[in-house]
Structure 1
Amino acid sequence: MKIAIIGGTGSIGKGFALRWGQKHQVIVGSREQEKARAKAAEYNGILKDYGFKADISGDVNEKAASEADVVLLAIRYGQIASTIEQIKPGLEGKIVISVVVPMEKDRCIIVPEGVPLEIPTNSREDYKADYFCYVTPPAGSAAQEIAPLLPERTELVSAFHNVPAAKLANLDIELNYDVGVCGNSMHSKNIVFGLVRDIPGMRPMDIGPIETSSMVESITPLLVNVAIRNHMKDVGIKFVD
């Protein structure tokens, strides 16, 4: 399978490229072609050192998307509209996976008793929280904001939100995480289930339709807060019964 990682030069993109590059043809996407190609060469070199003959290439986002079977959006929430506009012509009829999480620290405001809810902009610094929070998009989740921006025959799946980037990119570490998968088509979800299983130690969990994405996306800031406050690193999730 040919997988384009839009934002593939970032930390989470690196992890996916190294894990999927062992079995699939991966295209690292970036706004800058030279940067994409340099990172692709770096990832090929890492996998070669581990004994894998990888086929990772790099190109600008729009070309990467147009050449792939599956397109992974490993971008920041604020880049959604501009990135999809850039790659939209190459998304028709394909599966798009969103790992986007709208979380921030600066937007978390604690309002003490007696302070007006409408805090003046110049006073907001005094009320910022010291934890990360999920910033709920107007549509309900990042995935629900992405959905109407895609071509009609494109199938959207949201997944991999709670996978620690550092551990994903460290091939010396054995992973042991569950991955929540949300989507409206069992065809596309089954393909993503397979991509989850292609990463040793990962187990896919069907969460429901794309409307359930907010539940999974919002776990990420929770995990970050748990890690920071309890002196842990790269916290993930595992469901037990």
Structure 2
Amino acid sequence: MTNISIIGSGHMARALATVMLRGNNPVQILGRDGSRTRDLVESLGPGATGGVTGAAVTGAIVFFAIPHKEVHNAILEIGDSLDGRVVVDISNTVDVSNFDRLTTEPGVSAAEETARLLNGRAEVVKAFNTTFPTTLEAGKVGGQHLDVFIAGDSEQAKEKVSAVAAAAGMRPIDVGPLRRSRELEAFMLVVMGLQVSPEHQHFNWDTALRIFP
């Protein structure tokens, strides 16, 4: 059993909390909107607790389920309670105004930016950016389990994230060091572009990436 903290109270926060609880891992939800956070915690049931962003983090693994542009302020608000923990960056920096570019500078990923902001205070892992809320909450797509692609520079941190993913019935796949998050994020530019394209109506936000077998 691993205590999990999730920063955010939106659709991805709900999906992550659902699968973490499914794996018997207690969940703490911290969000800026107190009413929304309370409603989410109540809907999740036993094993879930909540509070406002800035409250002390209790989880050994902390998921940032917020847009990447909000991560900097979240880190400032949370303060030193992130120290020594595993921080999971799930963000995609696709420009949703046109789905035609990434908002990060070439050669750098959102996860690497998060790592720089934390400056060694916590181990940063990239994971869950290739899953979307509906399929993640369901834990499968098309009758198949979900793959969770994991990048990070700490083998121990990746093992911890892999363990909670596996406990929730998903298959963790270690793709290498944190710099591989560049490719994970860039590929989602292709995927999300397909999902919104009228030329590919069979793609939608309920799709997921999986490697066979």
Identity %: 24
Pair 1:223 & 2:195 matched: no
- Counterpart of 1:101, as a letter, is N
Q: 1:59 to 1:28 in 2, by over 3 A?
A: same
- Aligned to 2:192, the other structure's residue is in SS state helix
Deviation at 1:139, TM superposition (A): 6.6
Of 78-87 and 225-234, the range deviating more from structure 2: 225-234
The 3 A distance-change label for structure 1 pair 38 and 175 is farther
Counterparts in 2 of 1:37-186, with a 5 A limit?
Answer: 37-44=38-45, 54-63=46-55, 66-106=57-97, 129=98, 131-137=99-105, 140-150=108-118, 152-170=120-138, 176-186=145-155
Unaligned stretches of 5+ in structure 2?
A: none
TM-score, normalised to structure 2's length?
A: 0.88
* C-alpha spacing 1:235/1:204, structure 2 compared with 1 (3 Å): same
1:191 pairs with 2:160: yes
What 5-or-longer segments of structure 1 have no aligned partner? 45-53, 107-128
Specify the structure having the higher radius of gyration (Cα): 1
Q: Secondary structure at the match of 1:67?
A: coil
How much is the aligned-residue C-alpha RMSD, in angstroms? 2.1
For residue 228 of structure 1, report the CA deviation from its aligned partner. 2.8
Return closer, same or farther for 1:172/1:216 CA change in 2, 3 Å cut-off: closer
Aligned 8 A contact 1:139 1:145 in 2: no
Taking structure 1 as the reference length, the TM-score comes to 0.78
Query: Size of the alignment, in residue pairs?
Result: 206
Measure the CA separation in 2 of the matches of 1:95 and 1:227.
31
2:64 and 2:105 map into 1 onto residues whose CA distance is: 17
